Amino acid sequence: MSALLPPGENAVVHGIRAEVQLDPVPAEDTVSGSPAQGIVELGSVGDAEAGIWELREGVVTDTEVDELFVVLSGGATIELLGGPGVEPGRTVQVGPGDVMRLVAGTRTRWTVEDHIRKVYLAAG
């Protein structure tokens, strides 16, 4: 898959309308529901990868990479389960316009009633 924002080009992607192919979340990461997720690669900025990620309807767990994201649409409740500098049990609500930083190694539980779509920058 090629990046939507190739290096060396001045370009635009309409993040809310970009087509994101959704696939079922692996069973080992699914807590409840039948969640589906997908990513559209935007390209890179320096050493960071940029993309659009969407998750639909369910509860999933993940181990995060260093990431900064902005919610474009929808929302989620993110429970921080453990990891570097994490106070276990801390819960964060995010919705359109919210910006969040996740630290590599943080274990999370995402609860999404309808969907969340975010644009992210993630360190490799």
SS3 16: coil
Which range among 82-86, 97-101, 112-116 shows the weakest confidence by mean pLDDT? 82-86
List pLDDT tens digits, range 22-45.
999 999 999 999 999 999 999 999
Stronger pLDDT, 4 or 79, i.e. the higher one: 79
pLDDT at 124: 67
List pLDDT tens digits, range 114-124.
999 999 999 96
Please give the share of the chain, as a percent, with pLDDT higher than 90: 85
Superfamily in which the 23-123 domain is placed by CATH:
Jelly Rolls (2.60.120.10)
Reading the block at residue 85, the tokens are 């500098």
pLDDT at 1: 57
Residue 57 near residue 74, CB atoms below 8 Å:
no
Supply the pTM of this predicted model. 0.93
pLDDT at 59: 98
Burial label for 8, CB within 10 Å (0-12, 13-18, 19+), is: exposed
DSSP 19-81: ----EEPPGGGEEEEEEEEEEEEEEEETTEEEEEEEEEEEEEEEEPPSEEEEEEEE-EEEEEE
Ordered by start, the domain boundaries in the chain are: 23-123
Q: Is the pLDDT of residue 109 over 80?
A: yes
- DSSP label at 15? T
Cα–Cα distances in angstroms (integers) from residue 88 to residues 9, 49, 95, 96, 108, in the given order: 43, 28, 22, 25, 10
Looking at residues 79-88, what average pLDDT do you find? Answer: 90
